[in-house]
Amino acid sequence: MDRQQDKKEFPVAFSSDIDFLKEVRTAVLENLKCSPITSTSEVSYGRLPDQRPMRRVFPRGREHLISLMSKRDTLYFVGFIGFTKDADELDENIKEDIWNIDNKLVEQLSGHSNIVGYFSAERLDGHNWGNLVVCKSSDAINEWMTSKTHTTAITQLSPRYYSLVRIHSGHLQDGLCGEVGVLKTIFLDYGTPQPTRSVVYWDT
């Protein structure tokens, strides 16, 4: 079932989601300061300040994102926050399937001209990960989320792996360093016999 709600104030209950996305963003900014500027696709690995692992994907190299940062143009983002099911609820192959489709999504990023960064990191619970996707336009968000591979992940794999998912999207005023403004959240609840999907638009 799909439900849509009118605009309301973004709740404090989800502030930890945004704190995580900001933490990932800060780690990316720090890495951009000290690493060589590249103009080709790059996948690299690192750690957050407290040593949690992270992955950085620059589909068109670091130079593309750095040039956008210098212009301070508004960028757009998608933040994925998922909560995995208990171990006894997971089928034997789901973890492998999840990583395989994630790798496929990364491989296809170069085909999305308006996606400039895809960053993943372990969250504070030490069990779940989250993703931050940075785009040049809001249209890129729809292009990304309606791609065949992403649709497969959401419809076929997520119900097997997650109990709950929150997908926040919005804008970064003044570029990657700017304020994180959440415009919309998609809620996917797989903890019921009939999974539910709801969309909430937030006041900004």
Pairing of strands 129-135, 2-8: unpaired
Residue 73 phi/psi, 5° resolution?
Answer: -70, 150
Decide if pLDDT at 153 tops 50.
Answer: yes
- The predicted-structure confidence for 82-139, as pLDDT tens digits, reads as follows 999 999 999 989 989 998 998 888 888 877 878 999 999 999 988 899 999 999 988 8
Q: Which CATH architecture has domain 2-202?
A: 2-Layer Sandwich (3.30)
- C-alpha pair distances (Å), 150 with each of 22, 38, 80, 106, 183: 23, 27, 12, 11, 21
* Euclidean distance between CA atoms 23 and 27, whole angstroms: 6
The pLDDT, as a whole number, for residue 188 is 94
- The predicted-structure confidence for 29-78, as pLDDT tens digits, reads as follows 999 998 888 889 999 999 999 999 999 999 989 998 988 888 888 999 99
The pLDDT, as a whole number, for residue 1 is 45
Q: Across residues 151-180, what is the average pLDDT?
A: 91
Could you tell me the residue ranges of all domains in the chain? 2-202
Burial of residue 96, with CB atoms counted within 10 A of its CB: 0-12 exposed, 13-18 middle, 19 or more buried: exposed
Decide if pLDDT at 3 tops 70.
Answer: no
> Nearest CA to 80 among 65, 107, 98, 94?
98
Taking a C-beta distance cutoff of 8 angstroms, is the pair 130, 120 a contact? yes
The pLDDT, as a whole number, for residue 148 is 86
> Nearest CA to 62 among 93, 27, 38?
38
- The predicted-structure confidence for 177-189, as pLDDT tens digits, reads as follows 889 999 999 999 9
